[in-house]
Structure 1
Amino acid sequence: MERNPAMAMPRIILIMLIFNTLLAVGGIGFSFTLYQSVQQLTQVGPAEAGTGGPAGDVEAEKGEYQFQPVDKLIVSLAEAGREHYIVFDLVLQAGLETEKKKLEQIDPMVRNSAVAHFTGMKFQELRGQSIAQLQAGLEKAVLGDFGSRNLLVPFEHVLISKMVVQ
Structure 2
Amino acid sequence: MTIKTFSLGLVIALIAAIFAAVLTVLGTHLLSQDENKSSMISQFFASSDESFVEFVEIKNVVVTLKSRGDSERYLLLALALTTDSAADTHRAEELSPAIRGATVTLLSAMDYDAVREMSVEDLRGMLMNAYTERMKSLKTRMPFKDVIISKMVFQ
For the aligned pair, the TM-score class normalised by the smaller chain equals 0.5 to 0.7
Deviations 1:29-66 (A, max 9, x none): xxxxxxxxxxxxxxxxxxxxxxxxxxxxxx85652210
Match status 1:70 vs 2:58: yes
Q: How many residues align?
A: 108
- Cα gap change, 1:105 to 1:135, in 2 (>3 Å): same
Which residue matches 1:162? Answer: 151
TM-score where L is the length of structure 2: 0.64
Please, which runs of 5 or more residues in structure 2 have no aligned partner? 1-46
**Match among 111, 117, 120 for residue 131 of structure 1:** 120
Measure how far apart 1:80 and its partner are. Answer: 1.6
| C-alpha distance in structure 1 between counterparts of 2:52 and 2:151, whole Å | 22
TM-score where L is the length of structure 1: 0.60
Q: Is the 8 A contact 2:62 2:75 kept in 1?
A: yes
**One-letter amino acid of the structure 1 residue matched with residue 61 of structure 2:** L
Q: Is the 8 A contact 2:132 2:142 kept in 1?
A: yes
Measure how far apart 1:159 and its partner are. Answer: 1.5
Q: What are the equivalent positions in structure 2 for 1:1-166 lying under 5 Å apart?
A: 63-81=51-69, 82-166=71-155
Measure how far apart 1:97 and its partner are. Answer: 4.4
Larger-Rg structure: 1
Measure how far apart 1:84 and its partner are. Answer: 0.6
| C-alpha distance in structure 1 between counterparts of 2:142 and 2:93, whole Å | 12
Please, which runs of 5 or more residues in structure 1 have no aligned partner? 1-58
Measure how far apart 1:165 and its partner are. Answer: 1.0
Deviations 1:101-149 (A, max 9, x none): 2122111010000110111110110011110111111111111111122
Deviations 1:58-83 (A, max 9, x none): x8565221000011010111112121
